[in-house]
Chains A and B, each alone.
Chain A
Amino acid sequence: MSEQLTLYFHKISPFSQKVELALIEANAPYSAYQVDFRNKPEWFTSKVNRVGQVPAVTYGGPNVNPDDPSPLSTKIAESNVILEFLADLYPDSGLLPKDPVLRAKVRFFINAITRHVEGTYFDFLRGNESLDNALKAIEFIQELLEEGSDFAIGNHYTIADACISPHLARLKIVTETDMGNFPVGTGYKLGEELKGPKFAKFKKYAERILDRPSFKKIYDEEIIIGYFKRIFTDRVQ
């Protein structure tokens, strides 16, 4: 009774990586297709995602080649919507706990990532937000982590872990290379702060979650570094 699932992704996109991680951790079968953004196929925007972004999935319908999507499949876009969809398709995978209160904690964590990481921290990378506020944002996330736990919430890998992992990997690059549109040296400074005792819990969580086989399977640091070199060319003074 298994419906086909095809993920349209790109290695540079942290958003499509969230979905890749959840699929692998859930042991879910899927096809994957990398969309060439410098030469975006017309069929992707007209048949898969009008907004033209990854991640996007097709679900159900006949088995077709990914580059020939069927009108009979359901199309789903938005990384966090897809994560919840996978948790619904695989209710015993642990992607979401069964208990409503724990589920709420997972969702609150994801909401915090949207606000503090994809909001404040991204603005910091763009040169539009202070280092102080970026640190406060990371502190907010840290407060939600359980001490010494392998996972963000509870005893199992959830969509909360999938949601933050790609961002943690890129944060590591920023602190090690100082790449970003913030003033010179601020990336290194962020790295120093995160090595301090105040952020020990966050740092340990990040190290553990990036050490997982699922993560190593899909992550290519060189590609991200190359991408960052291309996009971060407008430092604020």
Chain B
Amino acid sequence: MSEQLTLYLHKIQLALAEANAPYKAYQVDLRNKPEWFTSKVNPVGQVPVLTYGGPNVNPDDPSSLSAKIAESNVILEFLADLYPDSGLLPKDPVLRAKVRFFIDATIKHIEGTYLAFVQGNESFDNVLKAIEFIQELLEEGSDFAVGEHYTIADACISPHLARLKIVTETGIGNFPAGMGYKLGEELEGLKFAKFRKYAQRMLGRPGFKQIHDEEAVIGYFKRRFTNRIQ
């Protein structure tokens, strides 16, 4: 699978691991998509995609009887529905709204502004504001983004935090030279202590270490980000 997309896959794998949910995984070669994948599983050809239910078949022989669910954030909510006692979403409506607001902020500020910065299309200042917005939502000293348990909010942001760490440590990205390191320096400062500590805790979780292949992501970044703006 393209490295770019493992980010979205990892959100789901993290949630599955934290919920102790059984699943089978099948890696789709996106440069050589099998016909059965596009016609039977996901007409848009996207990954990640989940099939649910239907008879037990080999992953490369999907049944028409299973439900097909695409979009990483839709899948995260689906897992929270399937495993209502896993803590992936709290039971309380107000806390659930906080989890969803955190995910919405991640989509806007990380999958939006921060990714645009890495692609060379957004200012350094705006990235700092974006990360600050996320930080404001974190509870001081809490192990998790929202409440007392690992939720889909943590699963949603963690893969991004790992890639942010790589960008600040290697300077790889399409932003002007040095900006990656500069971002790292800002995030080391007092102002971002809460964010940094939260990120360290997320990346230190056994579930995360199991799925993250730092070398593979670095290799992908080197191939992908070759067009620095001046």
**Chain A residues within 8 Å of B, Cβ to Cβ:** 59-60, 74, 76-78, 80-82, 84-85, 88-89, 100-101, 103-104, 107-108, 111
Contact = CB atoms under 8 A, between A and B. Distances in A.
Nearest to A103: B81
B82 A78 contact: no
Nearest to B101: A81
B96 A101 contact: no
Nearest to B94: A74
Interface of B: 52-53, 67, 69-71, 73-75, 77-78, 81-82, 93-94, 96-97, 100-101, 104
A112 B162 CA distance: 27
A103 B93 contact: no
A109 B74 CA distance: 10
15 contacts: A74-B97, A77-B101, A78-B104, A81-B101, A82-B97, A84-B96, A85-B97, A88-B97, A89-B93, A100-B81, A103-B77, A104-B67, A104-B81, A107-B77, A107-B78
A103 B73 CA distance: 13
Contacts of A74: 94, 97
Contacts of B71: 107-108, 111
B70 A108 contact: yes
Given A80-B104, A81-B104, A104 B97 contact: no
A84 B93 CA distance: 9
A85 B93 contact: yes
A78 B101 contact: yes
Q: Which 6 pairs between the two chains have the least Cβ-Cβ distance?
A: A88-B93, A100-B81, A85-B97, A104-B78, A101-B67, A107-B74
Nearest to B53: A101
Contacts of A85: 93-94, 96-97, 100
Contacts of B70: 108
Nearest to B50: A104
Given A100-B82, A108-B69, 15 more contacts: A74-B94, A76-B94, A80-B104, A84-B97, A85-B96, A88-B93, A89-B93, A101-B52, A101-B78, A103-B81, A104-B67, A107-B71, A107-B78, A108-B74, A111-B73
Contacts of B82: 100
